[in-house]
Amino acid sequence: MHKVQKERRVPPLTLFATALITLVMDQLSKAIVRIHLPLGETVSLGFLEFRQVRNPGTAFGLITSKAWPLFVVSIVLFFVLILVLWKWGGPGSRVFQMGLGLIIGGALGNIIDRLTLGEVVDFIDVGFWPVFNIADIAIVAGVGIVLVIVAKQTWKGENEADRET
């Protein structure tokens, strides 16, 4: 009798490492800004400025009133999104894990700010865009990576289906 061996699932180490590194970089950069760059002061590097601002609202300060209910909804949606992406892609490739890790680490960084400070610390100012932070960069990059992978796999699946017909 032949035994069917179950496939061993390897923990998604790339996802965990990327999320942890992102979270540490975000929280460390915000701590440095809170300590060394008082509110209202600016350090200019020409095209880029560092300026500590506090964001009591949603992403990019778009909605400032009734932010807490939206914050709770966004946390729930965040975990639903991660669950859906995980179910869709499983541990996936290292790049997929990296994308999810960036999203998770960045989101956790901003969630920690919201829970501990009541607002998010933003400090990177490029002039033409709302002031942002490392967590925001990680989230946008992670979403971009995941979208590219999803689009490529969807396109690949459609091409394979076309060849079969």
Whether 122 sits among the annotated catalytic residues: the reply is yes
Contact of 109 with 22, CB cutoff 8 Å: yes
Specify the DSSP class assigned to residue 90. Answer: T
Catalytic position from the list 26, 113, 125, 136: 136
Whether 136 sits among the annotated catalytic residues: the reply is yes
Nearest CA to 153 out of 97, 92, 81 is that of 92
Burial per residue of 132-156, b for 16 or more beta-carbon CB atoms within 10 angstroms, e otherwise? bbbbbbbbebbbebbeebeeeeeee
Catalytic position from the list 113, 122, 125, 162: 122
CA distances, 91 to each of 5, 98, 156 (Å): 19, 10, 19
Distance CA 19, CA 101 (A): 4
Task: Give catalytic residue positions.
Answer: 122, 136
